[in-house]
Amino acid sequence: MPMETGNVDVVLMRITANECNAATEDLARYLDTGLPATEESLTARELLAALLNDLSNECLTRSAAPSPKPPAQHI
């Protein structure tokens, strides 16, 4: 069964690669400071870390992608 990412995809289409990178860094800080590292929260931390890693990879992919060339203008 394919993973549904529609909501994330909508947001990623609206932001730049730099905004994506900045947001990923913010989310990593929130994870580190907002969710205590206890045995009870281990599963939640692992899941959030995996999602954050995927998001970071997506941001890196977007940063490395060449910008689309504007259409050629004929004079």
Give, for all 75 residues of the chain, the pLDDT tens digit.
565 667 878 888 888 888 988 888 888 888 888 877 788 888 888 888 888 888 888 888 877 766 555 555 555
Domain extents for the chain? 7-64
pLDDT for 62 equals 75
**Which residues, 6+ apart, have CB-to-CB distance to 56 below 8 Å?**
21, 24
pLDDT for 28 equals 85
pLDDT for 75 equals 53
Distances (CA, A) of 15 to 18, 35, 53, 59, 72: 8, 26, 18, 10, 26
The pTM assigned to this predicted structure is: 0.62
